[in-house]
Chains A and B, each alone.
Chain A
Amino acid sequence: MKKKSMIGWMSLLVAVTMLTLPVQSLAGKVYKLGLSLAITGPTSDAGNPYSKGVEDYFNFVNDTKILGDDKIECTIRDDQYNNDVTKRNFEDFISQGIVFYLNYSTGSTLALKKDFEEEKMAVIPASFHAGNLIDSHYIFLPIASYSTQAIGLGEYIVKNHKGGTPKVAMFIHPSAFGRGPVEDLQKAVAAGLKMEIVEVVEHGKDLDNTAMLQRLLSKGVQYVISQTVQSPVATMLKDASGLGLVAKSFGEAGKITFLGCHYTGGNDLIALAGASAENFYWTTSYIVTNEPSPGATAQLELAKKYNRDEKAANSHNYTNGMMVAQVATEVIKRAKAAGKEITKVTLYEELQAMNGDKAFSPGTTVGPVTYSKTDHTGVDTLQLYVVGGGVFKSVGTPFIPVFAEKIK
């Protein structure tokens, strides 16, 4: 008896699938995209909300019919921060016929650079490593590179420092990801940025930074620019605030002002460092959700629509993922409006034409996204934020670092 009903159910299931399949293929075209990133393994604290941002936005595009009857089908794969798996995923996406690719880590972007060239596939990674753009025509950074961010912080220091040449130390991740901006910041100093880089500290898995902080202080360091992930910065900030070393106002004499690039900040830092994160300066090109703006509203609504928790909804990596998806959708929309067929070639053209009147303002960034043949950096503008009362607050208006151009 049971067996019979099972067979009945199975045949019903088969019938339903048979019926729905052809219906789906009739309604509009499907554009395939691919995203490979670390949802588990190293850096998954960033990758996880990032993937949610991408997934939700494409669902939103399909559900609200932004592309009419056409749909975007973005396959998201976990590569566990393993370049070999990323390559496998990319090959798979290529055979599936994707028209646009989203990548994640610095390592895999560099490892696959040649494949992107050969496949002529436009790529937006989540890594803002300046080295991604060297010898590459198809990689597009969503926002200003880590180097530009570090230089931007340097310029802000020079502009707001009182009395003499500011002494700066860098606190970096022990990898190319961390070391990348060091050289560029040194170049900027050589090109006339009036500050002194006293020491570059590569952190390990430190439990105690007291000695390091005292050493920096004895060398007269007043500013520490961090380029790493949140956890080591949080440990350093806890020690510093315990020692009472954190400057209450920017550049307070005898104290240290802590600053950091994109991946050092965000709500994750506040989650890790708690009250010690106060007065930490952070730069990125994304908006934050606690300050009202159209982009923030859109982000929070999107997260609410797809039942994301508070943490994901307010994560700057969710913003990051959402923005990348917005850009991808926008180029497809534009190519469609121009009556072009949607292929990787046309999308690449549209992406490079995204400048001047055609600059794109997704709302989730503090400036417009602009790309051209020579400029593969999306949002050039940066915004400085400072932690006050447990949230990131804007400091001043968005700015574009001038030395970033000078050292090219």
Chain B
Amino acid sequence: MNYFFQLVISGIVVGSIYALSGLGFVLIYKSSRVLNIAHGQIIAAGAFITYALTVWVDIPIYISFPMSMVLTFFLAMSVERVFLRRLIGEPIISVIMVTIGLMSILDGLIYLTPFGSENFSFPPFLPTTPISVAGVSVSWTQMVGVVITFTLIGAFSWFFKKSTVGISMRAVSDDQMASMSIGISVPRVFGLAWATAGLSAAAAGGIIGNITGLNFETLHAFGIIVFPVVILGGLDSILGAVVAGIIMGLVQQFASGYLDGNWGLSGTGEVMPYIILLVILLFKPHGLFGIHEIERV
């Protein structure tokens, strides 16, 4: 039974990190209908900036972490300004391809730095003995990660529900024409959406970087892992990303916890998300919480 609870806890921990990674993705999609393939690279960039500030500039991590979030905020904003602003109104395929091109460009830029092909790890700043309750344990890094995740998600929810800017972002996602007519600057909202996505990606990158160490491959793979999460949750729902992230984390943990090693199966945790993804796409394509805009032909 202990094992079961451990799987649940681990699943929630991993899932909330997925949720945070997926959040940035949803933020961009929600306001500007752009599928950002380069999200993994932004996550990696966030992690590297945090490391560079912490170790090379020697800033304590509780300052450098928010600093890198701010820096990535502006990085993502300028990415939108330079690459995507010109493509407003172009067909979807062009926009997807631009983010693919962006992915390559960011790859190239990261290879210019030592992070492209070297490994690093954050200096430990939390106690290494995990929090253990009745045989179920979580490490401090993961715990802090979960706390940051939920704080950020709470903050974003508040931001979208209450603040003027957040409401205007929601308005744009509902109807661009109408928002423009009441004086909301749509391009500015797009820029902001990218910027907030960058902010959340940097947070995700910082947390993942603390858990796995800094390896470019491992980090940018999270850009692909978020796809099943955001589809399951619905591409345009923040709540969806959170719930789906946690479901995905649980499914992965249970799959590898109970299936692997039996009946000659192994590595099922890797593929489970994609099987769920396929099922969801076939039967409920708008996801759990997405807006129903699918049609039959």
B-contacting residues of A (Cβ < 8 Å)?
39-40, 42-45, 47-48, 174, 199-208, 210-212, 214-215, 218, 230-231, 234-235, 238-239, 241-244, 268, 271-276, 311
B8 smallest CB distance to A (angstroms): 9
Which residues does chain B contribute within 8 Å of A48, judged by CB atoms? Answer: 117-118
Q: Is the CB of A207 within 8 A of B208?
A: yes
Q: Is the CB of A234 within 8 A of B260?
A: no
Q: Closest A-chain residue to B107, C-beta based?
A: A40
Q: Using A205-B218, A206-B269 as known contacts, say yes or no to A211 and B208 having CB atoms under 8 A apart.
A: no
Extra A-B contacts (13), CB below 8 Å, given A202-B267, A235-B212: A45-B117, A45-B215, A174-B266, A204-B256, A205-B222, A206-B256, A206-B269, A207-B17, A211-B6, A230-B119, A234-B213, A242-B128, A271-B119
Q: Closest B-chain residue to A174, C-beta based?
A: B267
Q: Is the CB of A273 within 8 A of B117?
A: no
Q: Using A272-B121, A272-B214, A311-B118 as known contacts, say yes or no to A208 and B269 having CB atoms under 8 A apart.
A: no
Q: Is the CB of B121 within 8 A of A234?
A: yes
Q: Using A44-B116, A230-B119, A234-B213 as known contacts, say yes or no to A199 and B139 having CB atoms under 8 A apart.
A: no
Q: Closest A-chain residue to B270, C-beta based?
A: A204
Q: In the complex, what distance in Å separates the CA atom of A272 from the CA atom of B225?
A: 21
Q: Is the CB of A214 within 8 A of B3?
A: yes
Closest 10 CB pairs of A and B: A272-B213, A204-B270, A202-B267, A48-B117, A44-B117, A202-B266, A242-B139, A231-B215, A271-B119, A208-B10
- Mark interface residues in B86-114 (1 if CB within 8 Å of A CB, else 0): 00000000000000000000010001001
Q: Closest A-chain residue to B8, C-beta based?
A: A211
Q: Is the CB of B116 within 8 A of A40?
A: yes
Q: Is the CB of B119 within 8 A of A268?
A: yes
Q: Is the CB of B119 within 8 A of A204?
A: no
Q: Closest B-chain residue to A39, C-beta based?
A: B117
Q: Is the CB of A211 within 8 A of B253?
A: yes
Which residues does chain B contribute within 8 Å of A215, judged by CB atoms? Answer: 3, 257
Q: In the complex, what distance in Å separates the CA atom of A268 from the CA atom of B107?
A: 21
Q: Is the CB of A243 within 8 A of B121?
A: no
Which residues does chain B contribute within 8 Å of A210, judged by CB atoms? Answer: 6, 9-10, 137-139
Which of A40, A45, A212 is the one whose CB lies under 8 Å from B119?
Answer: A45
Query: What are 20 of the A-B contact pairs (CB < 8 Å)?
Result: A42-B217, A45-B118, A47-B117, A201-B261, A208-B14, A210-B10, A211-B6, A211-B7, A212-B257, A214-B3, A231-B212, A231-B215, A231-B218, A234-B212, A235-B213, A238-B211, A268-B119, A272-B120, A274-B121, A274-B122
Q: In the complex, what distance in Å separates the CA atom of A123 from the CA atom of B141?
A: 45
Instruction: Provide the main secondary structure of the chain A interface.
Output: helix
Q: Using A39-B117, A45-B117, A218-B3 as known contacts, say yes or no to A204 and B269 having CB atoms under 8 A apart.
A: yes
Q: In the complex, what distance in Å separates the CA atom of A231 from the CA atom of B137?
A: 22
Instruction: Provide the main secondary structure of the chain B interface.
Output: helix
Q: Closest A-chain residue to B208, C-beta based?
A: A207
Q: In the complex, what distance in Å separates the CA atom of A200 from the CA atom of B266?
A: 8
Q: In the complex, what distance in Å separates the CA atom of A101 from the CA atom of B249?
A: 45
Which residues does chain A contribute within 8 Å of B164, judged by CB atoms? Answer: none
Q: In the complex, what distance in Å separates the CA atom of A256 from the CA atom of B111?
A: 37
Interface centre among B114, B123, B215, by most chain A C-beta atoms within 10 angstroms, is B215
Whether B129 sits at the interface, judged by CB under 8 Å, is yes
Whether B124 sits at the interface, judged by CB under 8 Å, is yes
Whether B221 sits at the interface, judged by CB under 8 Å, is yes
Whether B34 sits at the interface, judged by CB under 8 Å, is no
Q: Is the CB of B139 within 8 A of A238?
A: yes
Whether B142 sits at the interface, judged by CB under 8 Å, is yes
Which residues does chain B contribute within 8 Å of A43, judged by CB atoms? Answer: 217
Whether B60 sits at the interface, judged by CB under 8 Å, is no
A98 smallest CB distance to B (angstroms): 26
Which of B13, B114, B140, B267 is the one whose CB lies under 8 Å from A204?
Answer: B267
A361 smallest CB distance to B (angstroms): 30
Which residues of B (247-297) have their CB < 8 Å from a CB of A?
252-253, 256-257, 260-261, 266-267, 269-270
Which residues does chain B contribute within 8 Å of A204, judged by CB atoms? Answer: 252, 256, 267, 269-270
Q: Closest B-chain residue to A239, C-beta based?
A: B139
- Mark interface residues in B112-153 (1 if CB within 8 Å of A CB, else 0): 001011111111100011100000011111100000000000
Q: In the complex, what distance in Å separates the CA atom of A272 from the CA atom of B141?
A: 15
Q: Is the CB of A211 within 8 A of B117?
A: no
A302 smallest CB distance to B (angstroms): 19
Q: In the complex, what distance in Å separates the CA atom of A45 from the CA atom of B13?
A: 28
Q: Is the CB of A205 within 8 A of B221?
A: yes
Which residues does chain A contribute within 8 Å of B14, judged by CB atoms? Answer: 206-208
Q: Closest B-chain residue to A275, C-beta based?
A: B124
B138 smallest CB distance to A (angstroms): 8
Q: Using A44-B117, A202-B266, A274-B121 as known contacts, say yes or no to A207 and B128 having CB atoms under 8 A apart.
A: no
Q: Is the CB of B256 within 8 A of A212?
A: yes
